[in-house]
Amino acid sequence: MRKTAAAVLVSVLFAVLTACGSADRVATPAAPAFTATTVKLEGPWYSFDLPQVEGGPDDARTDFNEGLRAELDPFLRDAAETRKVSGFHSEVAHIGRHVLSGVLGIEVADGYLHPITFKRTHVTDIDTGKALTLPDLFTDLPKALARLSAQAEVQIPKTRVGPNPYDKQRIAPAVENFKDWLAMPDGLRVYLGEIASHALGYIDITIPWSELDGVLKPGLRAVVSS
């Protein structure tokens, strides 16, 4: 007995949808809504508006909020030694279907004319309720780091660094150079630091996800780009 055209079409669509669902998480329901907020932290030598989220699954919310606080805590401990710590441009940078990304901008006044600046990040996989670190993203970490390093060399001249010289050791293929990153819809945003000069400030780049195809773990592009 021959199948009708409609029956064949239904079968094909079912097979395609089943395959997509097994390969990534695009077809999964959206997580309960999160909202961004801040918590004011103040002490004798620090003042900081710590980004946090409310709502959503308990495990993901807890991992994200505690993860950002853990990034800040070493600086607050240093504040006990009369180093003044304050925040700038700290935010819940992105709330996606599958991922939360947050960044801390930290200034430490240590008796110099200008404060020393730092950026620290935390990324949470909403579906697992656990942190996503750089090694979690890739099937072959050395190959991925080489790709990140090459892309950084392409992207940096497009920033305010422009044609100015910069410290190329800061983009060598090492985890330490790319550890402060965010999962954003358009790509992997990496905070590289003051790689050129203090006057040019903290430099960040965004590496499109398409440039990381082939080194991302199967299914993760749907997570990190959500």
pLDDT digits (tens, 9 = 90+) for 1-43: 444 443 333 333 333 333 333 344 444 455 559 999 999 999 9
Q: Distance of CA 42 to CAs 6, 18, 50, 87, 119, Å?
A: 66, 51, 10, 11, 19
Which CATH number belongs to the domain containing residue 128 in this structure?
A: 3.30.565.40
Q: From CA 176, how far away is CA 183, in angstroms rounded?
A: 17
CA 186 – CA 121 distance, rounded (Å): 17
Query: Which tokens sit at 144?
Result: 């991925």
Burial class (CB in 10 A: 0-12, 13-18, 19+), 45: middle
Q: Tell me, yes or no, whether 70 lies in a domain.
A: yes
CATH number of the domain at 226, please: 3.90.640.20
User: pLDDT tens-digit profile of 167-214?
Assistant: 999 999 999 999 999 999 999 999 999 999 988 999 999 999 999 999
221 shares a domain with 137: yes
H/E stretch holding 204: strand 203-207
pTM of the model: 0.85
The pLDDT tens digits of the residues spanning 79-106 come to 888 889 999 999 999 999 999 999 999 9
